[in-house]
């Protein structure tokens, strides 16, 4: 097969010859060596054949060259307008990459994957790979470009009351925590039996646990002022304050309760019976 350089030399020589002898030359083309030759110059990729035809005149007999093959190679395509990486914070909205085109103007195929699986949209937090591609066609080579999109988790914006009050003996469940649609709030390290502690200033940590990976966890310190608990003094009913001798041991009927201890040894004989109620110190 003749190279383009040699074809150029041959055509130049034929043209120069025709100029010298005052004749004309035309070129005809075909897509097969034995095909139909026309003056239409090929533009699509492929292998073609060209012949030079010299017109005859009063001094020359017309002549036709042997076919010479030449190839128009497929053009390369570049994918333009795509960055290597993209980053956004999760906001419940779909994310799309715009402005990406193929240099030949043809439509691109877009494929999105996350953790190795194909997905339809970029929404949830995580790392995505977006591949733009164009298939090989009659005149263009295939092209592909992959980019990375990172969606980071959003911050929880619930308002937490950081200064609260409670009473000695209360469970931590009395503390006010936000009600969230995207996760749950709890007191760090507490269970159903955890109290707010002794009277005074106590500190607890409120913890937000997200329901999905679209939000970050969060901790907020809560200061709790714990008040002393008022204890109601026990009351001895009239039936017990004045009793009649029976020969049996009689008591006040009082028992220990929250905040105090009762000492009642009982009495048999007629007289004054002493019952002691002592507050318990915390």
Helices (H), the chain: 4-20, 238-241
- What's the CA angle centered on 277, arms 275 and 282, to 5 degrees? 160
Task: Determine the average pLDDT of the residues in 217-246.
Answer: 80
Task: Determine the average pLDDT of the residues in 248-272.
Answer: 75
Q: Which region, left, alpha or beta, applies to residue 44 given φ > 0 means left and ψ of -120 to 50 means alpha?
A: beta
Per-residue pLDDT at 239: 56
Least confident of 161-175, 176-190, 225-239: 225-239
pLDDT tens digits, 174-219: 999 999 999 999 999 999 999 999 999 999 999 999 999 999 999 9
Per-residue pLDDT at 154: 98
pLDDT band at 8 (very low <50, low <70, confident <90, very high): very low
CB atoms within 10 A of CB 78: 11
CB atoms within 10 A of CB 38: 10
- What's the CA angle centered on 167, arms 165 and 170, to 5 degrees? 105
Rounded CA separation 153/91 (Å): 9
**Does the pLDDT value for residue 7 go beyond 60?**
no
Query: What would the two tokens of residue 198 be?
Result: 């002794």
Least confident of 54-58, 105-109, 143-147, 222-226: 54-58
Q: How big is the chain, counted in residues?
A: 282
pLDDT tens digits, 53-86: 988 877 778 889 999 999 999 999 999 999 999 9
Are residues 133 and 194 in contact, defined by beta-carbon separation less than 8 angstroms?
no
Are residues 125 and 60 in contact, defined by beta-carbon separation less than 8 angstroms?
no
pLDDT band at 226 (very low <50, low <70, confident <90, very high): very high
Per-residue pLDDT at 3: 41
Residue whose entry in the numeric block shows the structure tokens 């699509």: 44
Rounded CA separation 177/161 (Å): 7
Break the chain down into helix, strand, coil percent, rounded to 5: 10, 40, 50
Least confident of 150-154, 205-209, 252-256: 252-256
Q: What DSSP string runs through 212-238?
A: STTB--EEEEEEEEEEPPPPPPP---H
Rounded CA separation 147/189 (Å): 43
pLDDT band at 1 (very low <50, low <70, confident <90, very high): very low
**Does the pLDDT value for residue 161 go beyond 90?**
yes
Sign of CA dihedral 195, 197, 199, 204: negative
Per-residue pLDDT at 186: 98
Residue 162 CB partners (closer than 8 Å, separation 6+): 220, 221, 222, 223
Per-residue pLDDT at 254: 73
Sign of CA dihedral 173, 161, 180, 86: negative
């Amino acid at each position: 097969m003749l190279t383009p350089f040699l074809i150029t030399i041959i055509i130049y020589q034929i043209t120069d010859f025709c100029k010298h002898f005052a004749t004309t030359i035309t070129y005809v083309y075909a897509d097969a060596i034995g095909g139909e030759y026309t003056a239409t110059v090929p533009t699509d990729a492929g292998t073609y054949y060209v012949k030079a035809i010299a017109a005859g005149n009063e001094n020359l007999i017309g002549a036709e060259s042997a076919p010479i093959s030449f190839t128009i190679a497929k053009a390369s395509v570049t994918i333009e307008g795509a960055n290597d990486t993209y980053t956004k914070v999760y906001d419940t909205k779909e994310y799309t990459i715009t402005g990406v085109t193929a240099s030949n103007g043809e439509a691109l195929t877009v494929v999105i994957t996350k953790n190795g699986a194909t997905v339809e949209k970029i929404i949830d937090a995580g790392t995505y790979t977006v591949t733009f591609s164009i298939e090989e066609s009659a005149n263009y080579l295939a092209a592909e470009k992959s980019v990375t999109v990172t969606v980071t988790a959003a911050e929880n914006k619930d308002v937490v009351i950081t200064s609260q009050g409670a009473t000695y003996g209360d469970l931590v469940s009395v503390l006010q925590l936000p009600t969230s649609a995207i996760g749950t709030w709890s007191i760090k390290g507490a269970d159903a039996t955890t109290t707010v502690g002794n009277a005074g200033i106590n500190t607890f940590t409120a913890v937000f646990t997200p329901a999905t990976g679209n939000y970050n966890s969060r901790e907020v310190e809560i200061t709790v002022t714990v008040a002393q608990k008022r204890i109601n003094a026990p009351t001895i009913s009239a039936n017990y304050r004045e009793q009649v001798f029976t020969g049996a041991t009689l008591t006040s009927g009082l028992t220990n309760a929250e905040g105090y201890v009762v000492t009642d040894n009982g009495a048999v004989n007629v007289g004054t019976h002493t019952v002691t109620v002592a507050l318990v110190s915390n």
